[in-house]
Amino acid sequence: MTTLLLPQCGGRLDCGGAARRQPRRSRGDRHENEGQRQRRRKLDRCQADDFRVQNRGGANPNGHDNHELFPGGNSETNNDGERAYQVAKEVLRKHPDLTGFQGSSSLDVIGIGRAVEEAGKVGKICVYGTGLPTEAAKFLESGAINGIAFWDPKLAGLAMNKVAQMLVDGKEVQNGADLGITGYNKVTVTKGPGKGVIVRGTGWVDVDKTNYKQYPF
């Protein structure tokens, strides 16, 4: 095994940080939400042929620590698949023994998958991140993208309508409330701007080549 390239929030491919078994958490890491943590864990478990990226310390045959982050700073993709493609190509050129990418923007994985295919690295590099099934389909089928995560817009819309109706009825949305919707059975409520509140659920969906067609959007 070699290394793992992890992104920060906001559509950036994070090539920064020193190689440590317990790396210092960056500003982006401190604001990582539960969905991003789940995607990171999914990438940790991701396998392809003869490699595995695991969430543990230890040296690999090439002398790198697992979860090593390559130096070079953060590369902003600006929610642009072409930019993500260019960044991924450059990272692969500089670090040919890379074993994992995780994308934040839904377009990151498309650009990364394209770069992985062109480099002949399908099955040797794990690619995971936020995405949409219809956009990522080509690369899920080829194996250039191992998996994506997203929010079901139907369920998210139902949850927002339920919260809106509660507020219209003068009811308070409490922390831990069950909205009666899959993925929103125990919501987290935090203070938002002004008098607003932020309501978070766990309604993300993880798919790969075997089941992405169940979500035709």
User: Residue holding tokens 């994506």?
Assistant: 148
Torsion angle of alpha carbons 181, 186, 192, 196, nearest 10°?
A: 50
Pick from 112, 129, 151: which residue ends a domain? Answer: 151
Tell me how far apart the alpha carbons of residues 29 and 109 are, in angstroms, rounded to a whole number.
19
Give me the tens of pLDDT residue by residue for the chain, a chain 217 residues long.
Answer: 222 333 333 333 332 222 222 333 333 333 445 555 655 555 555 533 333 222 223 333 333 344 455 554 456 788 999 999 999 999 999 888 888 998 989 999 999 999 999 999 999 999 999 999 999 999 999 999 999 999 999 999 999 999 999 999 999 999 999 999 999 999 999 999 998 889 999 999 999 999 999 999 9
pTM, to two decimals: 0.68
Residues 143 and 167 occupy one common structural domain: no
Whether 19 maps to a domain, the answer reads: yes
- For the CA atoms of 55, 65, 50, 118, the dihedral, rounded to the nearest 10 degrees, stands at 100
Q: Are residues 133 and 162 in the same domain?
A: no
In a shared domain, residues 157 and 144:
no
Distance (Å, whole) CA 41 – CA 67 = 12
**What domain range includes position 97?**
3-151
Give the whole-angstrom CA distance, residue 191 versus residue 36.
21
CATH assignment of the domain containing 16:
3.40.50
| CB 130, CB 149: distance < 8 Å | yes
What is the total count of domains within the chain?
2
